[in-house]
A and B are shown apart, each in its own frame.
Chain A
Amino acid sequence: MSLSLFKFRDMVILGLHGVVVHKVRSVLTILGILFGVWSVIAMLAINAGLSVQSQKALRRLGSTNIIINSIKPETDAANSGAYNGALVYGLTLRDVERLGTNTPGVVESAILHKTQKTACAGEHIRAVGVLGIEPNYLAVANGEVSRGRFISDLDILLCRNVCVIPQSFANRMFPADDALGKDLHLLDSDGKPFHIVGIMETLPAALESQLGESGDAVLVPLSTSRAEFGSMTIRYSQGSRSVEQVDISQCILRMENESAVIRGAGVVRNLLQRDHPQGDYALKVPVEEIKLMKADMRRWNVMFFLIASISLLVGGIGIMNIMLASVTERTREIGVRRALGAKKQDIVTQFLVEAVTLTTLGGLLGIGIGTFVPWILQQILAIETLITPMTLIVPFVMAVVVGLLSGFYPALRAAKLDPIDALRHE
């Protein structure tokens, strides 16, 4: 039953011939597979793009970081340390020391204290989050100063009134001038302006949780912040007054490596649960979130894949339908070929080659369009998409397999035709 290589090549040519001769039928079949393949590719590319985008965002937080933010607790339980009617909550320096000492794998920690102030530059006045930080915050939080410099040890030591601001805020406060080197007044300070020593194109991602929608922030030396503004924030609203006291708004623990993050996160969680039963903190572990997201994306991938596979299945049913119609239409030809010496295997091969050729062509065209469509979506909808070799190979292989499976039954049916009946077929 072995086909010679020579004969196999001719069978393939015969199959291709069948595809070329029945153009309309072939084009319609190819279209079915083409839509299936490109929809699988597009869905996988969009999902992969979203996954990469989210992972990038999380990695910007630092894959070796554990970030702890102070948050206002939902209950009044936080009020246990009330002082002068102030709501006291969040992390303290003692917490940071304890976390640094008891958590294995901590390389360094960076802390931040936030107060809400009003910034003023000429006629421009805006509410702004004033973030008191230490010089190491920049490296720990993966930040970058685009122009000028960051807060230095000397600024901390001398409690200097210097600040670093993001470019967006600089544009708002100094729309006509370069903000670098200018002075910024922060109301409630002792009146001495803050000299802008650095501009950041974007703020570190870890700060996002500390800022409002505007993203306006002024980064000042932690020592200056403590000296000028203290740790109390007084809010006035609808005739009432609330006072909050937060010692440390954010603490970032930089760990040795990603596995130290996983181990350390457990320890940090336990320590905080013990010391802050009121839940006035939020723990963010980017590595854990990336892992969860990857698992989530895998699930979405499977779901997208299944949904898109339905279109391939429909394409496959289309092929089977068309191949069955082809077998009926070509019954007499099958009879003639059998009479002239074609074995059953030859007939199976001929029809299988036709089916696989159709799906291969559909698959290749689908890959062409499938790579183009995500690009269009990227341009129009600003969705990040990602096409990997697997994004292309999987749908293509699926299309070929669909062709084989859907072509097999019609091919078998063709081969089983009785030559005499087939020759009599009108």
Chain B
Amino acid sequence: MSLVKIDNLWKIYPLLAGDVVALGGVSLEIKAGDYVSIMGQSGSGKSTMLNLLGCLDKPSRGQYWLGDADVATLTDEQLSVVRNERIGFVFQSFNLIPWLTIEENVEVPLFYQGIAPAARRAKSMEMLSLVGLGDRVGHKPNELSGGQRQRAAIARALVNDPLIILADEPTGNLDSATTLEILDLFDELNQNGCTIIMVTHEADVAERTRRVIVLRDGELESDRTQAPQGGKR
């Protein structure tokens, strides 16, 4: 059964000079446990696709099913709940809140669920231990290396037990060694059943995924499955 299903999804930005079609009728399905990379050149629509998949934006036309929810029809408030409960975000620039400790950063999604502080802390500690940061919980983001920050961001993405993890160029700000470290972590999460959708423009990163979707000018150019390369597999 499909975890993500989009059908004829359009995103059009109306501008004075004329409408700009960022995404033009894309349809695809992603199954639970998939490890997908979305590729494409700059302006191909991959960020738009990620924003729509992450419920940060609403499509102009078309349908988007995440689990059993028809996301395209939801209100702003309902979309917040979907983001909070069903999606885990990993950003290129980590987007950790600088004045919170990493433990507090990981707690943020649970905070908006109204979970008790003790339970939040326990869950957040569990996730930080999972990504290998169990001994750095009291540190502020600026006291960590890039790789550690991204690990903390991954812990935050996992803390709400999401249906999918959306990663936007997660290795874009990392050196090669740390990139491999983070990709290994993604591999591990995927092997444990996490559905991961990753936007990247780096072919060697996309090689680590099992399915590669390529967008071009807002349309689906190719959608192929592959045997993942490299890593600890």
Task: Tell me if B97 and A333 are in contact (CB < 8 A).
Answer: yes
| Contact pattern, A 203-246, Cβ under 8 Å of B = 1, otherwise 0 | 00000000000000000000000000000000000000000000
Given A21-B99, A333-B97, A336-B95: A10 touches B80 (CB 8 Å cut-off): no
Contact with A along B66-100 (1 / 0, CB 8 A): 00000000001100110111000101000111010
Interface size on A, residues (CB 8 A): 24
Instruction: Give complex CA distance A335, B156 in Å.
Output: 15
Q: Which residue of A lies closest to B96 (CB)?
A: A336
Give the distance in Å from the alpha carbon of A345 to the alpha carbon of B77 in the complex. Answer: 9
Please tell me the number of chain B residues within 8 Å of chain A, measured between CB atoms. Answer: 27
CB distance from A327 to the nearest CB of B (A): 15
Asked whether B111 lies within 8 Å of A10 as measured between CB atoms, the reply is: yes
Q: Which of A1-9, A47-55, A312-320 contacts B (4 or more CB under 8 A)?
A: A1-9
Interface contact A340-B77, CB-CB below 8 Å: no
A340 contacts B57, C-beta separation under 8 Å = no
Question: Are A423 and B95 within 8 A (Cβ)?
Answer: yes
On whether the beta carbons of A7 and B97 are closer than 8 Å, the reply is: no
> Which of A7, A336, A342, A420 interacts with B80 by CB under 8 Å?
A342
* B41, CB-defined interface residue at 8 Å: no
User: Nearest chain-B residue to A4 (Cβ)?
Assistant: B114
Q: Within the complex, which residue of B76, B99, B156 is in contact with A340, where a contact is CB–CB below 8 Å? A: B156
Q: Mark B99-121, 1 if CB is under 8 A from A, else 0.
A: 10000000011011110110000
Is B54 an interface position by the 8 A CB rule?
yes
Q: Bound complex: CA of A273 vs CA of B160, how far in Å?
A: 91
* Residues of the B chain whose Cβ atoms lie less than 8 Å from the Cβ of A7: 111-112, 114
Q: B51 near A: Cβ within 8 Å?
A: yes
Query: Which of B56, B117, B160 is A339 in contact with, Cβ under 8 Å?
Result: B56
Residues of A within 8 A of B91 (CB): 423
User: How would you classify the secondary structure of chain A's contact residues: helix, strand, loop or mixed?
Assistant: helix
Known A-B contacts A333-B97, A336-B95, A423-B95; the reply to A343 vs B80 at CB < 8 A is yes
Least CB separation from A8: chain B residue: B114
Whether A420 contacts B56 by the Cβ 8 Å rule is yes
Q: Which of A21, A336, A341 contacts B113 (CB 8 A)?
A: A341
Residue of A nearest to B160 (CB): A341
Chain B residue nearest to A333 in the complex (CB) = B97
Distance between Cα atoms of A340 and B97 in the complex (Å): 12
Closest to B111 in A: A10
Q: Which residues of chain B have C-beta atoms less than 8 A from A343's C-beta?
A: 76-77, 80-81, 112
- A52 CA to B26 CA, complexed, in Å: 80
Q: Which listed residue (A336, A341, A345, A420) contacts B57, Cβ 8 A? A: A420
A345 CA / B80 CA spacing, docked (Å): 11
Report yes or no: B114 in contact with A6, Cβ–Cβ below 8 A. Answer: yes
A1 touches B77 (CB 8 A): yes
Task: Flag whether A419 is at the interface (Cβ < 8 A).
Answer: yes
A344 and B76 within 8 A (CB): yes
Between-chain CB contacts (< 8 Å), 30 pairs:
A1-B77, A7-B111, A7-B112, A10-B111, A10-B117, A332-B95, A333-B97, A337-B97, A338-B80, A339-B54, A339-B83, A340-B109, A340-B112, A340-B156, A341-B80, A341-B84, A341-B109, A341-B113, A341-B160, A342-B84, A342-B112, A343-B76, A343-B77, A343-B80, A343-B81, A343-B112, A344-B77, A345-B77, A423-B56, A423-B95
Q: A337-B108, A344-B80, A420-B51 are in contact. List 8 more A-B contacts (CB 8 A).
A: A7-B111, A10-B117, A338-B83, A343-B76, A343-B80, A343-B112, A419-B56, A423-B91
Chain B residues proximal to chain A, CB less than 8 Å: 51, 54, 56-57, 76-77, 80-81, 83-85, 89, 91, 95-97, 99, 108-109, 111-114, 116-117, 156, 160
